[in-house]
Amino acid sequence: MWWHDKGMDRSGVCAPRGVDRREAAPAPVGSAHGRIMRAAAALVIAALAGGCFQPLYGEQSPTGGPILRDQLSAVEVLQIGAPKGTDEARIAVEVRNALLYDLTGGGYAAPPTHRLKIAMASTRASIIVDVNTSRPDVENYGLNATYTLTEIATGKIVVTGTTFARVSYDIPGQEQRYARVRGLRDAELRAARVVADNIRLRLSSYFIAGT
């Protein structure tokens, strides 16, 4: 009957009035296939890119050459010149000791292939001054260093650079002389550590990239 035909869908089931029971068009097969192919391509690219990255201090070299740890341990760190008995002489020892430990990892040094020469100078400046006493409340300690890395076999300078560190420290009061000296000493040690780290990173960059 005509009134039955109006309410029935193609499956013969009577649909409620006002409801469209037409079948939805199936999703194109090509779009799903394209998504799968794009995802697979992304995974392949990620895997290939991951193979290009190597740990900076890994046990193997990506090029098959000497590993970075062995190259760093073959750097001879010369004594840093400073007047004997001065604060700079003590800081020079701190910088050199920190570098020796970083380059060798606390182990024995390899036969030297490169020679590292460092020159440095320190500065002190008042940052905050008490307006009533004209005495500094906060001081800034600075350490500047220049360095050269020479290839022993050829005598050629392969790396030159400069680095610095700035460390501030509080002065709790002029009557607390020990606290002021202790604050300065801590600032010197932190600055020496920063300078040594910067030089080590620059040498690592040279041995990895060759520049």
Q: Which amino acid is at 206?
A: Y
Name 64's Cβ contacts closer than 8 Å, sequence gap at least 6: none
Residue 190: per-residue pLDDT? 96
Residue 181: per-residue pLDDT? 84
- According to CATH, the topology of domain 68-209 is Double Stranded RNA Binding Domain (3.30.160)
Which residue matches tokens 């560190």?
Answer: 165
Residue 31: per-residue pLDDT? 65
Which residue matches tokens 């520049």?
Answer: 211
State which H helix or E strand residue 15 sits in.
none
Token digits of residue 12:
């013969």
State which H helix or E strand residue 198 sits in.
helix 177-209
Residue 22: per-residue pLDDT? 53
Sketch the domain layout of the chain as residue ranges.
Answer: 68-209
**Three-state DSSP class for residue 210:** coil
Q: Contact at 8 Å (CB) between 15 and 21?
A: yes
Write out residues in the chain with pLDDT < 70, as ranges. 1-34, 40-66, 134, 173-176
Residue 79: per-residue pLDDT? 96
State which H helix or E strand residue 195 sits in.
helix 177-209
Residue 1: per-residue pLDDT? 45
Token digits of residue 71:
């190259």
Residue 138: per-residue pLDDT? 87
Q: Write the Ramachandran bin of 209: left for phi over 0, alpha for psi from -120 to 50, otherwise beta.
A: alpha
Residue 52: per-residue pLDDT? 47
Question: What percentage of the chain carries pLDDT values higher than 90?
Answer: 45
Residue 146: per-residue pLDDT? 98
DSSP string, 67-129: -HHHHHHTEEEPPPP--TTSHHHHHHHHHHHHHHHHHHTTSPPPSPSEEEEEEEEEEEEEEEE
